[in-house]
Each structure stands twice: as C-alpha cells, then as structure tokens.
Amino acid sequence: MADIIQLLPDHVANQIAAGEVVQRPASVVKELLENAIDAGSSEVMLIVKDAGKTLVQVVDNGKGMSTTDARLSFSRHATSKIKMAEDLFQLHTKGFRGEALASIGAIAHVEMVTSDEEDQIGTEIRMEGGKIVSQEVTTCQRGTSIAVKNLFYNIPARRNFLKSNQVELRHIIDEFQRVALAHPGVGFDFYNNGSELFKLPATNIRQRIVHVFGPKTNEKLVPVEEETGVVKVSGFVCKPEFAKKTRGEQFFFVNDRFIKNSYLHHAVTSAFEGLIKDQTHPSYFLFLDVDPSSIDINIHPTKTEIKFDDEHTLYAILRSAVKHSLGQFNVAPILDFDRDSNLDTPYNYEGRSASMPAIEVDVNFNPFEKEPAKEKMSFSRSSRKPSGSWEQLYVGLEKSNDFSAIELESEEVTGSLFEKENEVSEATTYQLHKKYIVTTIKSGMVIIDQQRAHQRVLYEEYLKNITVQKGVSQQLLFPLNLNFSSVDIQLLSEMKDSLENTGFVFESFEKDTVVIIGIPINISESEVAIVLDQLLSDFQNEIPDSNFSQADMLAKTMCKTLAVRTGEVLNKASQEALVNNLFATKDPSVSPFHKPIYITMTVEEIDKRFL
C-alpha cells in the first residue's frame, strides 16, 4: 500500500497558520502594534485605508532589524523572544511565537523597511503570497515600517467574509485602544483614509484614558490601588452613577496585555452590587501585575485568554480592592455617620469657659387672672368684648355625623401613554400583573404583551418617518450638550440624516460634544442620552451596509429603548389605544425582534378547562 501521509508545503502551512493568527484586518493591526512595542518604540504611527482591506501600515522608531534579521523575520517560528521551552513560562513581551509576519506575508502584499543603525542605511523587503520578491538596500530612519496591502488577495473566500468598512474599522479601533491603554508611555498616532482619528502623546494612564475616551471621562474615574504578594492591582473604575446599559469601556490588562476573563469581570461587578441599577454595567480600566510563571498565555491563538494558577485568590483580592476604593472615595455607603459641621466649636469661642444662664422670674404673674393685661390690649380696638368663659366658644355648634361631603385622596395611576380623550364608559381591557393586557374578541379573549406591542407600534412609526423623511420634532428651550468619544462622534455624524428624519435636530458636531436643539415628540429630554448610547452600541456591534438596513436598525433601537416596560401601570385609555394601534399595524402578531406579541384563547378552549 502506498504511503498517504505527506508534509504540507510551506505556503500551505502558512495559510493554515494565517487562519488562526489573521482573522480580519484588526488582527494585523494587533500583531504589528505589539511588535512595535516589543522593539522599544517611543512613537508609533498607524495608517489604515479602507478599514485595513487596502492598507495597514505601522511605523515605529524602535531598534529595528539588521539585513539578516529582516529576512528571517518572515520565516515560520522565527523569533527573538524565546530560546528554550522554559522561556514560555517567563514571558515579558507581546509576541513570542514567530508566526505573525509569516502568516501575514502568506495572504497579503507586504513591504518592510527597517534599520537598526543611526547611519540611515536599512533594508527593504517585498513579499507576495509568502515568497520574498525583492530585497534591497535603502535609506531610512532608525526603526521599522511594515505596510500590509491587499489583505486576503489570494484567498477570496476569506475576503468575502469580511464585514463592511465601518464594522472592520470599529474592530481596528478596539485593538488600537487596547494597545494604547496598556502602554501610556508610548505616543500613538492613528490615521484612517488620510484623516486623523487619534493623536495620543506619551503620558500617564489617567491622561491616556481621558485622551482616548474624551475629557468628561476624568470626573468619572475612581483610582484603585492594592498590592499583595500575589498580585498588584492598579487602575480606575468609573463611579456607579455613570454605569451604562451596554457593555463598553471594560478593560483588563495582565502584565500590560489585554485579556478577557468573565470570572474576574464578575469580581468587579459584584463589588458594585447595590450601587448600580439592574441591567447596567460598570466601566473599569484595571491592571494586574502577576508573576509571569503563574500564568499561561499560550492557550489561545489571539492570546486574549490567560490561565491563572489561583483564580480564586485573584477574585477575592480584586473584589475587595474595588469595594475599598469605592468606599474610600465616598462613592459607596459606609457605616460611619457624616460629621455635622454645625456642631463644631467656632474658633472665636475656643478656650472660653461656658457661662451659666440666668433665670428671671416674674413675681407679679398670676395664671388665674380672668382678664390678663395682654388680652385687654388685644381687644381694645374692637367693640367686641371677650367671652367670660371658654365654654361659650362652642355654643351653637351642632353635632353632625354626615361624612358625604368629605373627599378622600384617590390613588393616582402613573404611566399614561396617551392623551385622556374619549374615555370609554365600559372597560373593555384589563391589565394583568402590570405586564399583559387582556381584552375580549368575538371568539374569546386575547392576551397581549404590552412591551412587545408598543415596540411594534413605535417600530412602524419610526420606520415610516425615516422612509418618508417626515419626522416630527419638538424644539428645546435650551440646547442639549452630550459628550461622546471621537469615534462615537464620527458614527453619529454618519447617522445624522437618519436621526433627523426621526425628529432629532443637531446644531453642531464638535470634537467630543454633540449639540442637540430638537428631539422627537415622544422622547423626553432625559431619555436622549440613553437612546443615543443604545444606538451607538447596536451600530458598533453590527453596522449595516445599505441605507434601508441602517434605517431598520435605527427604528429597532429607538422602539426597544422607548417602549413601555413591564411593570408600568397603564390606565384604561392607554390600554385601549395600545390595542387599537397594535392591530392597525402591518404585522401585529410578531414584534420587531421576531417574538410573539399576543396569544388568543377561544371560548371552546376555556370551556375545556372546566370539564
């Protein structure tokens, strides 16, 4: 029998490895930025075109590479980070496998210019599909510049799986922010299609957070500091009142490496227990310094998951450190009572002895005197004379037990959705457990989920307004200023037309502030920030390509945020109006999120229950 097992060619093996290392343009950005950090760079520039599909270029001023090292860097498992197997458990660098450049070079056109000397003589290497096309001597500054062009040009199936430019750019920004936050002492510049997105000078971690997420972030931060024999915890958490309904600014760094760990995330959220509302998430930027031998980084291709030797101890330390910081800065309630400054002794009276109060007694005072002097004076201007005794004050009052005229304060129903017009004398609807609306039909009864029903009504209303571009707006007496990061500002500006069709009116888009002068008629001013935060979260997760799908997502986000909630009390008029509006929609049976809105029970089905 002939042998059937054979070794794969290098270019095939590189493409298989690229499937693990390079999933999208953001993966290239991560690998190149980490290589620049490992090279000891103090300034790093990232240049992106067409969300990385056309170009991803990283320029650094690190130590660079010699001609031999530059050529070897594109070989598989060629690395300067480890020499022995034991080095895998004492890692102090970002990259160590030696797979990044080999995998990237197998699926793109790569141009690398590098120099490790001050004489400005360096090496230029061009690679296509895993093969070195040319290697020349060139003049360049000290450092390395790597340009990755036409990603997945030789694997069209992988390229077809890429999302829209906005989605891919969002992933690139996420990777850029993670590296930038982990290394505040390094300056970063980020350019997308020729425009500057970020310019981050070298600074401390607090200022780096402010530069990335906007100046208003500074007032939200609470420092966390704790050092033990197991781990050193540092960083910041945001105050409970700034908790968001979406998972956003949550960063864990272990030895300056970004990780994802649901167990440690639960430790932080449990520290906020009782301080934030349900279904809200705290923001945090926490750095853990541990012994490299106590963690295993090499368990995930993207190195975003780490295995700890003792996670239970880390959990307890992290949770107590966050709770201590929240209590220390008077963010969390503490047992001590607040000191009342009014009880303090003024400086002018310090050292003085207390004087005993003097008591004066009126010896002429007679409590049994019928007409005191003061009483006589009070009636001196009137012809009326005071009565002789107090019993005469009640003469003429008749006892009555008729309480029909007394009005008792009735319990007021809150949460009216609609105007109280055309009140129906006989109720045809009933609210069950503040969640369902029960109404009768000819064949039996209908049980309606009030939240899903209102979502369907609002969804079709917003979708119609966006489509016909006739959104109704109410002008604000004072402009509303909302602060967002530069990335969110750019995303809002792209959705400006669709938002204006729903009723929003924007006055200006500044670097980190949006000025709103008009809002839709069924949105209160306090709900605007909640709607826009939810909208940004939905669009960042999956930004649609076409205008119709963008309008559809916008309508879904607004109806989800503004619909009546479970637990809200609706009066009879609101219940009946909601039922009538629901069955006037195009598809009253299913919510915008493909969930049933109502169920029906016929009289026959009810009769069977009594058999």
Specify the CATH number for 10-200; select among 3.30.70.20, 3.30.1050.10, 3.40.50.720, 3.30.565.10.
3.30.565.10
**Helix or strand or coil: residue 488?**
helix
Looking at residue 305, the DSSP 8-state letter turns out to be: -
pLDDT (0 to 100) of residue 559: 87
- The contacts of residue 363 (CB under 8 Å, 6+ apart) are none
Closest CA to 53 of 129, 107, 127, 103: 107
pLDDT (0 to 100) of residue 241: 86
Quickly list DSSP for 73-116.
Answer: TTSTT--SS-SSGGGGGS--SS--SS-HHHHHHHSSEEEEEEE-
Please say if the pLDDT value at position 284 is more than 90: yes
Q: Do 293 and 89 touch, CB atoms closer than 8 A?
A: yes
Q: Distance (Å, rounded) from C-alpha 567 to C-alpha 562?
A: 14
Q: Under CATH, what is the fold of the domain 205-328? A: Ribosomal Protein S5; domain 2 (3.30.230)
> Position 485: which residue type?
S
pLDDT (0 to 100) of residue 318: 93
pLDDT (0 to 100) of residue 203: 92
Please say if the pLDDT value at position 87 is more than 70: no
Q: Work out the percent of the chain whose per-residue pLDDT is above 90.
A: 22
pLDDT classification of 511: cutoffs 50, 70, 90: confident
Q: What is the pLDDT of residues 29-51, one digit of tens each?
A: 998 998 899 888 999 999 999 98
Q: What is the pLDDT of residues 248-270, one digit of tens each?
A: 788 999 988 898 888 899 999 99
Span 277-291, average pLDDT: 88
Q: Work out the percent of the chain whose per-residue pLDDT is above 70.
A: 76
pLDDT (0 to 100) of residue 310: 82
Please say if the pLDDT value at position 86 is more than 90: no
Please say if the pLDDT value at position 210 is more than 80: yes
Locus of tokens 């400006």: 496
Q: What is the largest CA-CA distance in the chain?
A: 137
Closest CA to 256 of 358, 343, 180, 188: 180
Instruction: Note the pTM of the prediction, 2 decimals.
Output: 0.68
Q: Do 284 and 235 touch, CB atoms closer than 8 A?
A: yes
pLDDT (0 to 100) of residue 191: 93
Please say if the pLDDT value at position 22 is more than 70: yes
N- to C-terminal Cα separation, the chain: 75
Q: Distance (Å, rounded) from C-alpha 218 to C-alpha 236?
A: 10
Please say if the pLDDT value at position 341 is more than 80: no
Please say if the pLDDT value at position 145 is more than 90: yes
Please say if the pLDDT value at position 196 is more than 50: yes
Locus of tokens 């990044």: 100
Question: For the purposes of burial, counting CB atoms within 10 Å of the CB of 330, is it exposed (0-12), middle (13-18) or buried (19 or more)?
Answer: exposed
Question: For the purposes of burial, counting CB atoms within 10 Å of the CB of 136, is it exposed (0-12), middle (13-18) or buried (19 or more)?
Answer: exposed
- Most confident range, picked from 66-70, 400-404, 437-441: 437-441
pLDDT (0 to 100) of residue 377: 46
pLDDT (0 to 100) of residue 470: 67
Span 326-340, average pLDDT: 63
> Position 458: which residue type?
L
Closest CA to 52 of 25, 18, 21, 24: 25
pLDDT (0 to 100) of residue 83: 54
Q: What is the pLDDT of residues 445-467, one digit of tens each?
A: 899 999 999 999 998 888 887 77
Q: Distance (Å, rounded) from C-alpha 477 to C-alpha 560?
A: 27
Q: CATH assignment of 429-598?
A: 3.30.1370.100
Can you give the residue ranges of every domain in the chain? 10-200, 205-328, 429-598
pLDDT (0 to 100) of residue 89: 54
Torsion sign, CA atoms 205, 207, 211, 213? positive
Give the least confident one: 53-57, 62-66, 194-198, 361-365.
Answer: 361-365
List the beta bridge partners of residue 445: 440, 601
pLDDT classification of 423: cutoffs 50, 70, 90: very low
Span 558-563, average pLDDT: 84
Please say if the pLDDT value at position 404 is more than 60: no
Q: What is the pLDDT of residues 50-70, one digit of tens each?
A: 989 999 999 999 888 888 888
Question: For the purposes of burial, counting CB atoms within 10 Å of the CB of 466, is it exposed (0-12), middle (13-18) or buried (19 or more)?
Answer: buried
Which of residues 62 and 534 earns the better pLDDT score?
62
Which of residues 521 and 515 earns the better pLDDT score?
515
Average pLDDT score, the chain: 79
Q: Which tokens belong to 81?
A: 């980070």
For residue 124, give the H/E element and its range: strand 121-128
Locus of tokens 């690998």: 31
